[in-house]
């Protein structure tokens, strides 16, 4: 027979309510009590009955993750990170892909939250950057945590996980400049994603600080896709004066740029340096492997879920909630796709 919460309470020598507080990681439980309960859970291989918990009353032990992102690697890392935290905290996860461009996106999210009886949501770009979505969720009095690109210098009224894309892009561009490159092109991701603007601004700042003019001929607008990388690199390498380096807005774009370079018999990195962003599997599956900025998506996702569940617990225990934020700056990873410019 499966162990019950009553069995855990008896073995640990505490009340059932205390076991529940430990499972939900409420802050008021003493450390030695937490250790006793966790040891009892381990010995009994106890797993909370999530369905029973959700049916027992108005409290929901299910959170959701909604996204609109064509990058499968990003989505999988997000799901795995949130799932890991849910498993540790005894919560279920509902995953809901959607189209942010849909005119009915707010109604769709409201219906999903209501039908699934969610306690809260983790939302990632571009949904996390859309005022109409944020307003719709606020009207439902729903706990949610946003993953957004930015440094958090501007105050935010809701809990956020800030990813410092600007600073990371600046460091990538500085790396290319230090290698002697001055003709550095930029292939952008989708308009409407704050990450696109933040990464471009970091690129521009690094050039301007080094006294290098931003050349509009070296700017190519696109989407976060392999195809954009192919089209962008073909265009840039066909210019009368092609760039000696390309900074792509993500690794998928960079992989496409590398593919196009090969088609045009341009050697990487001997004739052209290429850098990406995110450190996705794309950056390690190419040859040469891509210089990039390591964005710990799995960890970011887990921290978002941790922050969300803490907000939910605080609301339930009547302790109120304070707006909390977390910050991540992707780290520069130098690989074989960039080298000193050839004179």
For residues 276 and 246, give the distance between their C-alpha atoms in angstroms, rounded to a whole number. Answer: 9
Q: What is the CATH number of the domain that holds 98?
A: 3.40.50.2300
Does a structural domain hold residue 20?
yes
Do 170 and 22 lie in a common domain? Answer: no
Torsion of CA 168, 172, 174, 179, to 10 degrees: 160
Does a structural domain hold residue 75?
yes
Domain carrying residue 281: 166-295
For residues 102 and 99, give the distance between their C-alpha atoms in angstroms, rounded to a whole number. Answer: 6
DSSP 256-279: HHHHHHHHTT--TTTT-EEE-SB-
Do 129 and 242 lie in a common domain? Answer: no
Do 138 and 173 lie in a common domain? Answer: no
pLDDT in tens, 163-219: 999 999 999 999 999 999 999 999 999 987 899 999 999 999 999 999 999 999 999
* Tens-binned pLDDT, residue by residue, of the chain (343 aa): 677 888 888 888 988 778 877 776 666 688 888 888 888 888 888 876 554 454 444 457 899 999 998 788 899 999 999 999 998 888 999 999 999 999 999 999 999 998 888 999 999 999 999 999 999 988 888 899 999 999 877 778 789 999 999 999 999 999 999 999 999 999 999 987 899 999 999 999 999 999 999 999 999 999 999 999 999 999 999 999 999 999 999 999 999 999 999 999 999 999 999 999 999 998 999 999 999 999 999 999 999 999 999 888 887 776 655 668 899 999 999 999 999 998 7
Does a structural domain hold residue 343?
no
Q: Which helix (H) or strand (E) holds 327?
A: strand 325-328
For residues 329 and 168, give the distance between their C-alpha atoms in angstroms, rounded to a whole number. Answer: 6
Phi, psi of 265, rounded to the nearest 5 degrees: 60, 35
For residues 327 and 339, give the distance between their C-alpha atoms in angstroms, rounded to a whole number. Answer: 31
Please give the distance of CA 18 from its chain centroid, rounded to a whole number: 34
Instruction: Name the pairing type of β-strands 62-67 and 325-328.
Output: unpaired
Do 72 and 154 lie in a common domain? Answer: yes
pLDDT in tens, 155-179: 787 899 999 999 999 999 999 999 9
Q: What is the CATH number of the domain that holds 39?
A: 1.10.260.40
Q: Report the domain count for the chain.
A: 3
């Amino acid at each position: 027979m499966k162990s019950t919460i009553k069995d855990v309470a008896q073995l640990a020598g505490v009340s059932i309510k205390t076991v529940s507080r430990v499972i939900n990681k409420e802050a008021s439980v003493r450390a030695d009590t937490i250790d006793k309960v966790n040891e009892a859970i381990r010995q009994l291989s106890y797993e909370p009955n999530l369905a029973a918990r959700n049916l027992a009353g108005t409290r929901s032990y299910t959170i959701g993750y909604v996204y609109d992102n064509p990058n499968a690697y990003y989505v999988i890392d997000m799901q795995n990170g949130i799932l890991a935290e849910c498993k540790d905290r005894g919560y279920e996860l509902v995953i809901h892909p959607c189209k942010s461009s849909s005119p009915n996106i707010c109604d769709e999210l409201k219906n999903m939250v209501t039908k699934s009886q969610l306690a809260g949501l983790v939302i990632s770009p571009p949904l996390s950057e859309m005022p109409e979505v944020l307003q719709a969720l606020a009207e439902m009095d729903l706990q949610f945590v946003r993953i957004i690109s930015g440094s958090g210098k501007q105050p935010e009224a809701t809990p956020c996980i800030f990813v410092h894309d600007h600073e990371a892009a600046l460091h990538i561009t500085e790396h290319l400049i230090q290698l002697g490159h001055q003709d550095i092109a930029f292939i952008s991701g989708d308009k409407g994603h704050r990450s696109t603007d933040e990464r471009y601004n970091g690129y521009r700042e690094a050039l301007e600080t080094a006294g290098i003019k931003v050349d509009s001929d070296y700017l190519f607008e696109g989407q976060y896709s392999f195809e954009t990388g192919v089209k962008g690199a073909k265009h840039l390498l066909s210019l009368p004066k092609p760039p000696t380096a390309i900074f792509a807005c993500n690794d998928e774009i960079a992989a496409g740029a590398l593919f196009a370079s090969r088609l045009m018999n341009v050697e990487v990195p001997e004739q052209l340096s290429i850098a990406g962003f995110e450190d996705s599997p794309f950056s390690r599956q190419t040859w040469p492997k891509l210089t990039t900025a390591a964005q710990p998506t799995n960890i970011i996702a887990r921290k978002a879920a941790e922050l969300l569940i803490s907000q939910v617990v605080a609301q339930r225990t009547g302790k109120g909630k304070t707006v909390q934020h977390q910050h991540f700056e992707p780290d520069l990873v130098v690989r074989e796709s960039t080298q000193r410019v050839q004179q």
